[in-house]
Amino acid sequence: MTVVGESKFTGILHDMSARTQIEARLREQTSLARLGEMAAVIAHEVKNPLAGVRGAIQVIGTRLPKDGKDGAMVKEIVSRIDALNGLMQDLLLFARPPQPKPVVVDVATVVASTADLIASDPLLKDVRVSIEGAAPRILADAELLKIVFVNLLVNAAHAMQGRGTIRVSIASEADTCQVAVADEGPGIPAESLERIFVPFFTTKSRGSGLGLPTAKRIIEAHRGRITITCPSAGGTIVTVQLPGEGAATVM
C-alpha cells in the first residue's frame, strides 16, 4: 500500500514447525508399518528354513573329525547363520517392538541387573560399570528397559575397545527420571552423530545398525526421550529421560 507517498508492506507469518513435525512423524510411522510387514515376511520365508539349515549343518559336523579343517568350517558356517538370525531378530524387534506393559519399577535396580549381565560376558571382563545416584520409581516395562540399557552399555564397552569404566548417573529432575551413560571412548564424529538414530546406519565393522533406533523407539513408547552428546574432552554420553510415576501413563 502507499501511505503519504511511501510504500508500506504488511506480512503475516505462520509458524509451521508443529505441522512439519507431525507430518514427519506420520511419514515415519507409515515407513515403519511397511517395514513391519516386510520383517514378518522375512521371518516366515527365511528364519524358519534357516533354522533347518543350521540343524543340518550341525548334524554333518558331528560326523567330521573335531580337529580337522572341515570341522572348523562347520563351526564358522553355524556362527555365520547365528549372526544372520540375530540380524533378523533385531529387524523384527525394531519393526514391531512389543507394547510396554508398565508396572512400578526402580530404574537403578534395572540398570544394576543389566550391568551384571555385561559383567558376565568374558569378552567384556575388563569393563567396569559404575552406577551413581537414584531416582523415584517410575511406571515402565522393566524388560524393555533392559533391552535399551544392554544396548547402551554394550555400545559403550565397544567404544572403549572392551577396556575402561562406564559411568552411569541416575537422577530425578522435574518429575522425570534421567539416566546418563558415559564412556571413555573417542566419541562419535559429528557427521555420524547426525545419523546415529537412522536405521541400518552403524559405525561398527559388524553391526545391524538397529540397536540405537530400537532403543529410541522403546523409550519413545514410554513417552521418554533419548539423546547423545560428545563432550569436547572425549567420550560419549547417552541420556535417557523417562516420565516419573506421577506423570501420564505409558501408551
Percentage of the residues of the chain whose pLDDT score is greater than 70: 94
- Non-local (6+) Cβ contacts of 166 within 8 A are 127, 128, 129, 130, 153, 156, 157, 160, 181, 182, 183, 184
Check whether 135 has a pLDDT greater than 60.
yes
Give me the pLDDT at residue 250, please.
Answer: 45
Q: Which residues of 20-51 are buried (b: 16+ CB within 10 A; e: fewer)?
A: eeeeeeeeeeeebeeebeebeeebeeeeeeee
Give me the pLDDT at residue 206, please.
Answer: 67
Give me the pLDDT at residue 95, please.
Answer: 75
Task: Mean pLDDT check: name the lowest of 160-164, 209-213, 245-249.
Answer: 245-249
- Residue 64 gets which letter from DSSP? S
- Distance (Å, whole) CA 116 – CA 110: 10
Q: Is residue 138 part of a domain?
A: yes
- The residue from 38, 70, 95 where one domain ends is 95
Give me the pLDDT at residue 41, please.
Answer: 76
Check whether 248 has a pLDDT greater than 70.
no
Q: Quick one: 120 and 239 in the same domain?
A: yes
Check whether 202 has a pLDDT greater than 90.
no
Residue 236: all three cell numbers together? 560419549
Q: Residues 197, 212: contact at Cβ < 8 Å?
A: yes
Which tops the pLDDT comparison, 203 or 157? 157
| Chain center to CA of 221 | 13
pLDDT digits (tens, 9 = 90+) for 74-95: 888 998 888 888 878 777 787 7
For range 146-159, the mean pLDDT: 94
**Which secondary structure element, helix H or strand E, spans residue 201, and what is its range?**
none
Give me the pLDDT at residue 32, please.
Answer: 67
**Which secondary structure element, helix H or strand E, spans residue 235, and what is its range?**
none
pLDDT digits (tens, 9 = 90+) for 5-63: 899 999 999 899 888 888 877 777 677 667 767 777 777 778 778 888 989 988 988 88
Q: Quick one: 180 and 200 in the same domain?
A: yes
Q: Where does the pLDDT of residue 251 fall: very low under 50, low under 70, confident under 90, or very high at 90 and above?
A: very low
Q: Where does the pLDDT of residue 247 fall: very low under 50, low under 70, confident under 90, or very high at 90 and above?
A: low
Percentage of the residues of the chain whose pLDDT score is greater than 90: 43
Residue 106: all three cell numbers together? 526402580
Q: What integer best gives the mean pLDDT of the chain?
A: 86
Helix-then-strand count for the chain, H and E: 7, 9
Give me the pLDDT at residue 40, please.
Answer: 73
Q: Quick one: 157 and 85 in the same domain?
A: no
**Which secondary structure element, helix H or strand E, spans residue 179, and what is its range?**
strand 176-182
Its pTM stands at 0.73
Give me the pLDDT at residue 93, please.
Answer: 80
- The residue from 43, 77, 95 where one domain ends is 95
- Non-local (6+) Cβ contacts of 220 within 8 A are 226
Q: Quick one: 184 and 235 in the same domain?
A: yes
Q: Quick one: 154 and 73 in the same domain?
A: no
- Distance (Å, whole) CA 233 – CA 79: 38
Q: Quick one: 132 and 36 in the same domain?
A: no
Q: Quick one: 83 and 48 in the same domain?
A: yes
Collapse the DSSP code of 83 into the 3-class scheme (helix H, G, I; strand E, B; otherwise coil) and give the result. helix
What is the domain extent for residue 152?
A: 103-243
Q: Quick one: 61 and 127 in the same domain?
A: no
Helix, strand, coil percentages, rounded to 5, for the chain: 50, 20, 35
Amino acid identity at 112: A
- Distance (Å, whole) CA 61 – CA 182: 43
Give me the residues paired with residue 179 across strands.
170, 240
Q: Is residue 6 part of a domain?
A: no
Task: Mean pLDDT check: name the lowest of 82-91, 103-112, 186-195, 234-243.
Answer: 82-91
